[in-house]
């Protein structure tokens, strides 16, 4: 499916991708995001897997990098060439300040269609921590297909999502609101398999953010290989 999905994603009407409010929410949240989500054991463990499974100097995309902390910094500190992208200009600025050795671009994940930042096969690894959950479910398989095609054969993807049976659902979030999507874990495994990934490992963490308006959640981490 993946080769087809990349082309189909490329052909999706740009106007159909409704990003209203998503970047603005993260512009307002800024560095409060890191205060609200401390103790990222699951994310750090998943980042350590990605960093350690690839040879030093690998080119790694951090898709929806947020503040760059902890993941872009962790991957960069491990000696990899990190390219971070994020929809929110404020997040990109914070990431540049936090991780000066990596490069960051204000880009929508969907902007990587058509060869931006190197195109097909140009990354050895990708981290997508809690970023694809900000897309509607109808788009997630295309986004996964795109990430699949950006990876070289046998390239690795560290993916995290919050477990939940929701689609483009508005939730209060750190004094603003965002739209999120999720899957129950069996469905998530099926979606990544359909996009052409093999599941090498999986972890689930119960996570209670320190902020009162973000409910406790189950975080799913999948370690995936492009097949
Ligand atoms: C929940 S935060 C996670 C940030 C970071 N990956 C982390 O785990 O710390 C989601 C991030 O994805 C970004 N984002 C949302 N939709 C995006 C899109 N379509 N393309 C690129 N980034 C996006 C948001 O601006 C935000 O910084």
State which ligand 1 atom lies nearest to the alpha carbon of 128. Answer: 6
Domain boundaries, the chain: 3-226
Each residue's pLDDT tens digit, 6-54: 666 666 655 467 888 888 888 888 888 888 887 799 999 999 999 999 9
Question: Parallel, antiparallel, or unpaired for β 103-106 and 81-86?
Answer: parallel
| CA–CA gap between residue 80 and residue 58 (Å, rounded) | 5
> Which pLDDT score is estimated for 1?
45
- Predicted pLDDT of residue 15: 46
Separation CA 171–CA 173 (nearest Å) = 6
pLDDT in tens, 28-39: 888 888 888 877
pLDDT computed for residue 10 by the predictor: 63
Nearest CA residue ID for atom 8, ligand 1: 129
**Ligand 1, atom 26: closest residue by C-alpha:** 66
- What does the pLDDT average to over 136-151? 95
User: Ligand 1 center to residue 26 CA distance, Å?
Assistant: 8
Q: How far apart are CA 25 and CA 177, in angstroms?
A: 7
Tokens at 45, concatenated: 């463990």
d(CA 96, CA 49): 24
Domain 3-226 has CATH 3.30.1370.100: no
Put simply, whether the predicted model's pTM sits higher than 0.85 gets the answer yes
Distances (CA, A) of 36 to 2, 66, 81: 35, 13, 28
- The rounded Å distance from CA 131 to ligand 1 centre is 4
Q: What is the DSSP letter of 145?
A: H
Contact between 36 and 174 under an 8 Å Cβ cutoff? The reply is: yes
Alpha-carbon gap, residue 127 to 131, rounded angstroms: 9
In three-state secondary structure terms, 226 is strand
Span 174-213, pLDDT tens digits: 888 999 999 999 999 999 999 999 999 999 999 887 776 7
Q: Taking a C-beta distance cutoff of 8 angstroms, is the pair 95, 30 a contact?
A: no
């Amino acid at each position: 499916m993946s080769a087809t999905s990349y082309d189909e994603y490329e052909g999706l009407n740009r106007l159909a991708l409704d990003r209203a409010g998503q970047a603005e929410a993260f512009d307002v949240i800024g560095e409060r995001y890191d205060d609200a989500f401390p103790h990222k054991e699951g994310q750090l463990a998943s980042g350590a897997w990605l960093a350690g499974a690839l040879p030093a100097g690998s080119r790694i995309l951090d898709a929806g990098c947020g503040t760059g902390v902890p993941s872009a910094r962790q991957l960069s500190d491990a000696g990899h060439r990190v390219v971070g992208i994020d929809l929110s200009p404020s997040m990109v600025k914070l990431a540049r300040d936090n991780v000066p050795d990596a490069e960051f671009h204000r880009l929508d994940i969907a902007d990587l269609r058509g060869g931006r930042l190197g195109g097909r096969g140009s990354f050895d690894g990708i981290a997508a921590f809690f970023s694809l959950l900000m897309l509607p479910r109808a788009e997630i398989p295309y986004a996964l297909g795109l990430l699949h095609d950006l990876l070289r054969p046998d390239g690795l993807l560290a993916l995290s999502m919050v477990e939940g049976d929701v689609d483009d659902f508005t939730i209060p979030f750190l004094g603003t609101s965002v739209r999120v999507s999720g899957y129950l874990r069996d469905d998530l495994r099926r979606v990544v398999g359909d996009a052409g990934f093999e599941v090498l490992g999986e972890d689930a963490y119960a996570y209670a953010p320190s902020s009162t308006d973000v409910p406790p959640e189950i975080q799913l981490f999948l370690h995936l290989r492009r097949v």
